[in-house]
Every structure is written in C-alpha cells, then in structure tokens.
C-alpha cells in the first residue's frame, strides 16, 4: 500500500512516521521517502487505507491518497502548485517583516550606528515568530508527543529562546535606555528556513519530473470503432473505459491510447519517451503498439491487448515509482543516525549554553551560542541526500529507456566487474532465418510415408509443428514455409494424407514435440524438432553424411535443428542469426572500461564461437551448449563465491533464472513484446530497447548516481560536523547558522539535479 505523507521536513520525520506505522498490527515492513513524501507499507492480513491515514495524521503529518489516474495527477499537480505559490508569498512576507530588523546590521557595516525602537522590533518580529513560525511549533510538538525530535523542534526551541531573550532584555532595561536585542536573529532564521524549504520543494519537484512526464503520456480519450452489434458508429470514450479486444482508431499526431496490435494501416511511432529511441519506428499490420507512444503521419486501427494497470506504460510508471520510493542500504544507516541526532543536538545545545555561562560571558551570549547550535544542526540535508539522487538518477535513466527496479540495484551495479551476455536476441538480432535445409531420407518411416513425391513435405511438417511457437527458430521455419507457397498448405496438401498433430508442446532448451495420429488402427508416433544434442540424448541414429553436413553448418556459425518422427530422422535445418549492429561496439566499449565480457549460450560451440568472433568476445570467455536451467549455475560460477560481481544480460524470455542469479540482472525488452513481463519482474534493470550499447549506459548512470549519493552524504555530514563545533565555539551567529542550514538542503538537492544533465 502506498500513501502520501505531507509535512515531513527532515530525516527525523521519516523515522517518526516509520516507527508509528510499524506498530500497526500486521505491518511487516515500512519504507518512508522524504524526497517523494510517500510511505510504502507491506502488511499481512486486513489493513485499510483509512487506518494507515489515521496513524499518519495522529503522528502529526498529513496523509494523502495516492491514485494513478490522470485526473488525480492533474489535481495533485494543481494543489502542489497552489501550495508552492502560497509558501512563496509567505516567504516574501517574512522577508518584508525581517528586512527592517536587519537594516541596522547592514548600517553597522557602513559605519552607521542606529537601531529601531524596541517596540517596533517586537511588532515586526512577533508575527514572524508566532505566525509564520507556527508550523514549526506544531510539527515540533507532534514530534515531542511521539517521543522524538525533528528539524522543527530545533528551529522552534532556538528561535523562541532568542525571542524571549530579547523581550526579557527589553523588559529589564531602564526606561529610555537602548539595549541590543536579538529579534532580528529569530525572525531572519525562520524566514531563511522557510526560504530554504521553498527552494528545496521546487528542487525536489524537478527530481520527480520523469514520473510526471510519464503520467502525461496517457491520453484522456480514444476513438472506439463500432463492433457491428451494439455500436454502429465510432464514438469517443475515456481511455479508462477501454476493454481488451476493443478496436480503436488512431489519427496522425495522436497518442496511442493503450497497448495493442496494428490491424489496419501503416504508420510510424515516436517511442522516444519510453525507450529513448530517437528515430520513429515503422508500424505495420501485426506490429505491437505501446500505449502512450506518439502516432506519426498514418491513420491506423489498433486492437487493444492490455489496459489499465496491465499496460506497459503503467508498469513502467510503477517500476520507476518503486525505485524512487525504495531505500538504498546506505540510507537505512543514515536513518538510524538521524533517529538519535536531534536528541544529541539538543544536549549539545544545552551544554554549549551551560559552558559559556559557566565561563562568565553572561546569560545573553551563552543563549545566543546555544541557539546557533540548534539552528545549524537541523538534519534536513541528511534526509534528502540519498532519495534526491535516486529520484534524479532513476528518472533520467527512465527517460532514455533504462528502468531501474530498486536502489539496491544501483549500489550493486556500481561494483560489477563481469558482464555476461546471452547470445540469441541479446547480441544477435533474435530473428534467425532458415539458411538451408535438407532431407535426411527420401522415404518416411514405416506407416508414415508421404503420398507421392516427398518434395518439401518435411519443411511443411516442421512448420505445422511450430505454427504457434514463439521461439525465434520456430518462427523462422514458419516464415520459410510461407515463402515457399503463397497459400499456407494443410498437411494433406503437403503430402501427409490425413495425419494430424496433437499435444504440441515445447521441451525447455531442447525443442518441440507432438503426437502424430493417422487412423485408429495405426499407432501414434512422436514428432520432434530440436537440437542435435537432444537427438543424441534420445539415441537417434544420424548418418555420417548427415552429421558431416551438420558439422559444416555449425562451423560456419549456423544453429542446426533436426526433424525426427518415431525413431527415424527426416531432415535437418540450418538457421543463421546475424549480430546486432551495435553488438561489437558495445563489447569494445565494455572492455575499454575494464569489464570482462562473457557469452553464455545454449547454442552449439561452433555457432557461439562464430558470433563471439564477430562481436569481439574472447574464445576463452564463451560458454556454449548451456541449457536454460543451467545458465543460473554458470552465472554462479562466474561470481566465484562473491569474488566477482556479475551482471547478466538476457532477452527476458528464457533467461529468468540466470537474471535472478546474477548480482545485477539486465533484461532487454523483446522486439515482439513477448519478454516484457519477464523483464519487468526477473531483472533488476530493464532495457526498453534491444541495443547492447545500453548495457554500458545503464552501468554508467548507476555509477554516477551512487557517486552523487556519496557526495551528498559527505556534504550533509560535513555541514553538521563543521557547523556544530563552530556554532558551539561562538563563531557563528544564529542568522549565519540559519542561512547555512537552509543552504545545505538546497545544495544537496541541486547537486542531485545535476544528474538530469546525463546523456547516454
């Protein structure tokens, strides 16, 4: 369950909300993110949204519903902008009231010594202290009730002490005597903190721009075509009303309303926002369409295949939100530090005031030094350091088609030193063609001889076996058979009498088999089409001549499959699959950056070595004849008991075990869309284009994001580590401390925003 949480300002607030939610019955895990102002609650049993909202409100924060609809996004954006505008006006009001209090300090720099009357100072400072500063009192009080401290408590205690000190000094002063008061310190600190929070909010909003951009891809309506029954004419309906199977019309320049398949027409689709592909992609009949992409200059009809939360765009948004809502391991350490930080700072502030008073500087100076400690020590930057960098990094990565599943993947990708590639569909096109085939026998087995000349009968028999297959080799057989004849022949037309195929099913990593039936009086036989290794395992006798042809094809990089019926081999088929255009450049770039590149393939040694030579992978780094079930073990062997960190790159269809076994799994989105589900679930990183160059790009943005996290944490701790001693030693005034504290938060978020300049 996801719930928005308003009113959080620092890492201590995060800890407060997490502790409150963890106490609820059935709650197993809670992750609260300051940058996204959200809470993710994992629970078992019955737990309603209302219960979570009530707990958040009782903790002193504002619960906000999280809805993925377009209308709710627009309403949330409007409310966010209105609040931002109101906060800006309040900052301007604070500046207007504080400026007259600061002018005497500016005058002192020019040798002009003058001061506002004490009554005027009180009139100007009090609205800032108790009007604009009311939010600090409210939030600080809720923190105290929860047994914890937060940024607001430090600001409230520090500025209130300064205000009361000034009031007490004025009240104690003899009539007509001008005394130095500190109203300007309290007013300016509150104004600067408000200004810092406003700037921080604007910067945080920029870090979430990727999510907003993805939401805006969803059109509001669709042109629903008539179905010939209830609807006799086209009508415009809300996208939320579309159902799977609906036919919609998409005009030039419109966004596709849902995932689907082109059923009529031809066009080009701009998929840059989802995949990072800068060039339009041609879409013809039968091609897959992703909802949210932009139609080009053609008018097409599309049959809807997925809607709502099952659409590719919705799952991408969920994935990016999951990554931005999660916590990196280092952030959990920061949260533990922040949970004790405020109480420790309060103690340091108390000791600072006590020591200075004991040293004889007087209560006035001692209190000012204590206030400086409280103001500069606010842990805002600590709470923002990690999530701001994660939001910016994952957001810009998503803009270029790199989807990062969670923050843990970022830290692990930073340590990768071995890249393992699957071959088919990853380094190669994944669209093999039937290069050559030959009959192994001119006669069929007993009881199954074709009627008349054998001709192309084995090709059509293999094509019927693979008719509904999603495997690239199966599609290649069907394509070759269709190319032979314009009209698709039945088994009877292909010379196989009235035989039929039943129980067609795939054998993982080996091939496809089915039961062949003729008449009730004749025994059924098993028809198989698969690898040479599978046929050898089953004990088929392959003649010396045929095996020589097979070895020749494999030596030239071909993948060979054998067609067998009963106990006899009928034919062999050689398939060629070309490397992707950028495969060699990708391997060269990875090697140049110091990574070891390995290929793990289920194909034969000859085919694997041929592709490896074309793309530049060393012969010693090729692992061939590896079944899908054994790829995970191969990845574990590369890890060498944790001595190496391995990234596995696969096409997301049959590589799920290997992707899960790797330290970082990278799944390339399948060109036909078939691997999307596996890619989004099995891998830590999903590459929305099948471009091997994206592997280096994904590792690069991961490294840069981790570097930003470390920089932010360094500066966040540096502000406090350096600032608290300086304030305790009396070297910082409350005004300077307030400015430094506000600047620390803004600088951390701004540093994270530099990631948005990243380009592949």
**CA-to-CA distance for 554 and 561, rounded, in angstroms?**
11
**CA-to-CA distance for 645 and 631, rounded, in angstroms?**
16
Which residues lie closer than 8 Å to 454 by C-beta, 6 or more apart? Answer: 439, 442, 443, 444, 495
Q: How many CB atoms lie within 10 A of CB 312?
A: 24
C-alpha radius of gyration, the chain, whole number: 34
**Strand ordering across the sheet containing 38-43:** 27-33, 38-43, 2-6, 62-64
Q: Which tokens is 401 given? A: 């088609």
Q: Which residues pair with 42 in a beta bridge?
A: 29
Confirm if 655 and 661 have CB atoms less than 8 A apart: no
Q: Which of 450, 507, 443, 502 is nearest to 474 (CA)?
A: 507
CB burial of 475-487 (b: ≥16 within 10 Å; e: otherwise) equals bbbbebbeeeeee
- In eight-state DSSP terms, residue 433 is E
Q: Which of 180, 16, 694 is nearest to 403 (CA)?
A: 694
Confirm if 628 and 649 have CB atoms less than 8 A apart: no
**Helix (H) or strand (E) run with residue 673 in it:** none
Q: Which of 605, 693, 707, 702 is nearest to 649 (CA)?
A: 693
Which residues lie closer than 8 Å to 359 by C-beta, 6 or more apart? Answer: none
Is 422 among the catalytic positions?
Answer: yes
**CA-to-CA distance for 646 and 637, rounded, in angstroms?**
10
**CA-to-CA distance for 545 and 550, rounded, in angstroms?**
9
Q: How many CB atoms lie within 10 A of CB 208?
A: 20
Q: Is 146 left (phi over 0), alpha (psi -120 to 50) or beta?
A: alpha
Active-site residue, from 246, 422, 603, 691: 422
Question: Catalytic residues, which ones?
Answer: 422
């Amino acid at each position: 369950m996801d719930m928005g949480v308003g009113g959080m300002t620092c890492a201590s607030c995060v800890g407060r909300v997490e502790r409150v939610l963890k106490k609820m019955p059935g709650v197993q895990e809670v992750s609260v993110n300051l940058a996204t102002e959200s809470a993710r609650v994992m629970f078992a049993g019955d737990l309603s949204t209302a219960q979570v909202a009530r707990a958040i409100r009782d903790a002193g924060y504002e619960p906000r519903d999280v809805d993925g609809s377009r209308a709710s996004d627009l309403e949330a954006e409007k409310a966010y902008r209105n609040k931002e505008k109101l906060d800006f006006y309040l900052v301007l009001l604070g500046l207007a009231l504080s400026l007259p209090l600061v002018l005497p300090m500016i005058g002192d720099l020019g040798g002009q010594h003058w001061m506002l009357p004490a009554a005027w100072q009180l009139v100007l400072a009090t609205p800032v202290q108790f009007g604009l500063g009311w939010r600090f009192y409210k939030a600080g009080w809720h923190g105290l009730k929860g047994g914890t401290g937060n940024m607001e408590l430090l600001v409230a205690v520090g500025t209130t002490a300064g205000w009361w000190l000034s009031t007490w000094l004025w009240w104690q002063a003899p009539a007509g005597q001008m005394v130095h008061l500190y109203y300007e310190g309290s007013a300016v600190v509150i104004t600067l903190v408000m200004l810092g929070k406003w700037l921080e909010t604007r910067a945080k909003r920029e870090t979430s721009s990727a999510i907003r951009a993805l939401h805006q891809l969803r059109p509001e309506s669709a042109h629903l075509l008539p179905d010939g029954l209830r609807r006799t004419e086209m009508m415009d309906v809300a996208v939320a009303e579309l159902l799977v199977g609906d036919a919609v019309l998409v005009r030039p320049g419109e966004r596709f309303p849902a995932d689907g398949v082109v059923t009529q027409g031809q066009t080009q689709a701009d998929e840059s926002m989802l995949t990072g592909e800068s060039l339009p992609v041609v879409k013809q009949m039968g091609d897959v369409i992703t909802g949210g992409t932009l139609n080009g200059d053609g008018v097409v009809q599309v049959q809807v295949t997925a809607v709502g939360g099952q659409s590719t765009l919705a799952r991408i948004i969920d994935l990016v939100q999951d990554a931005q809502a999660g916590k990196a391991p280092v952030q959990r350490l920061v949260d533990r530090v922040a949970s004790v930080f405020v109480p420790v700072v309060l103690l340091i502030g108390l000791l600072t005031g006590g020591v200075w008073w004991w040293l004889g500087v007087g209560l006035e100076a001692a209190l000012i030094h204590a206030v400086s400690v409280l103001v500069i020590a606010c842990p805002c930057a600590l709470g923002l350091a990690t999530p701001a960098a994660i939001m910016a990094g994952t957001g810009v990565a998503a803009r270029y088609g790199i989807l990062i599943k969670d923050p843990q993947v970022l830290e692990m990708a930073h340590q990768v030193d071995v890249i393992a590639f699957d071959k088919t569909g990853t380094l190669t096109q994944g669209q093999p063609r039937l290069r050559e085939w030959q009959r192994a026998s001119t006669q069929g087995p007993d009881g199954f001889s074709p009627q008349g000349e054998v001709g192309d009968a084995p090709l059509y028999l293999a094509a019927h076996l693979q008719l509904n297959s999603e495997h690239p080799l199966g599609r290649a057989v069907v394509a070759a058979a269709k190319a032979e004849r314009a009209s698709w022949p039945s088994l009877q037309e292909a010379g196989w009498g009235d035989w039929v195929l039943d129980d067609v099913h795939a054998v993982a990593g080996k091939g496809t088999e089915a039961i062949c039936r003729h008449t009730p009086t004749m025994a059924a036989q098993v028809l198989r089409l698969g690898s040479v290794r599978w046929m050898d395992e089953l004990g088929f006798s392959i003649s010396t001549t045929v095996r020589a042809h097979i070895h020749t094809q494999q030596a030239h990089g071909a993948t060979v499959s054998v067609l067998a019926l009963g106990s006899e081999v009928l034919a062999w088929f050689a398939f060629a699959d070309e490397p992707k255009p950028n495969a060699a450049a990708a391997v060269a770039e990875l090697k140049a950056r110091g990574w070891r590149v390995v290929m793990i393939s289920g194909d034969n040694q000859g085919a694997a070595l041929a592709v490896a030579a074309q793309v530049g992978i060393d012969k010693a780094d090729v692992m061939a004849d590896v079944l899908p079930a054994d790829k995970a073990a191969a990845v574990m062997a590369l890890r060498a008991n944790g001595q190496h960190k391995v990234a596995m790159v696969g096409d997301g269809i049959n590589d799920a075990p290997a992707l899960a076994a790797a330290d970082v799994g990278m799944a390339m989105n399948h060109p036909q869309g078939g691997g999307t589900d596996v890619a989004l679930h099995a891998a830590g990183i999903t590459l929305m284009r099948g471009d091997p160059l994206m592997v280096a790009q994904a590792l690069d943005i991961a490294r840069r994001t981790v570097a930003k996290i470390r920089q932010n944490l360094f500066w966040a701790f540096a502000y406090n580590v350096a600032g608290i001693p300086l304030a305790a030693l009396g070297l910082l005034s409350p005004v300077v401390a307030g400015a430094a504290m506000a600047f620390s938060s803004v600088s951390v978020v701004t540093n994270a925003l530099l990631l948005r300049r990243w380009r592949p």
